[in-house]
């Protein structure tokens, strides 16, 4: 496979892993290859691109919900001000301006910010 396809598959797999779907790289590659045989390269690439875009959008939604739950927990636990956007919230956590010790999602927060 060429670099463009490999990158698209790798990026799609990152989203799939974040979404915790039980799909392996080989399965995605095999599906792409079978699409080439049946429909040709152009349609197979478009199907792969659509899958990538769908996984990316689902990841954005799930990530937004996750950070909203973190914001809510910080607000309830520390009774302090919490930034209204996710970028500022992540930045403040990274810079230790907000202490996440003891939060229910502490480990996942650290994984996402590392």
Compute how many other C-beta atoms are within 10 angstroms of the C-beta atom of residue 51: 19
Is residue 32 assigned to a domain?
yes
pLDDT at 80: 67
Segments in 1-114 forming alpha helices (H): 3-18, 25-39, 41-78, 86-94, 106-113
pLDDT at 89: 87
pLDDT at 53: 97
pTM for the model stands at 0.79
Q: Domain limits at 69?
A: 3-80
What does the block give as tokens for 75? Answer: 């607000």
Number of domains in the chain: 1
pLDDT at 67: 92
Is residue 55 assigned to a domain?
yes
Q: What are phi and psi of 22, to 5 degrees?
A: -90, 70
Which regions of the chain are under pLDDT 70? 1, 80
Is residue 67 assigned to a domain?
yes
């Amino acid at each position: 496979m060429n670099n463009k396809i490999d990158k698209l598959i790798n990026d799609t797999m990152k989203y799939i892993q974040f979404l915790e779907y039980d799909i392996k790289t080989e399965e995605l590659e095999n599906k792409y290859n079978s699409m080439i045989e049946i429909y040709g390269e152009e349609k197979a690439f478009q199907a792969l691109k659509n899958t990538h875009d769908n996984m990316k959008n689902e990841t954005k939604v799930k990530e937004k919900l996750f950070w909203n739950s973190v914001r809510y927990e910080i607000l309830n636990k520390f009774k302090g001000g919490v930034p209204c956007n996710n970028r500022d919230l992540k930045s403040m956590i990274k810079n230790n301006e907000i202490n996440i010790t003891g939060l229910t999602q502490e480990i996942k927060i650290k994984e996402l910010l590392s």
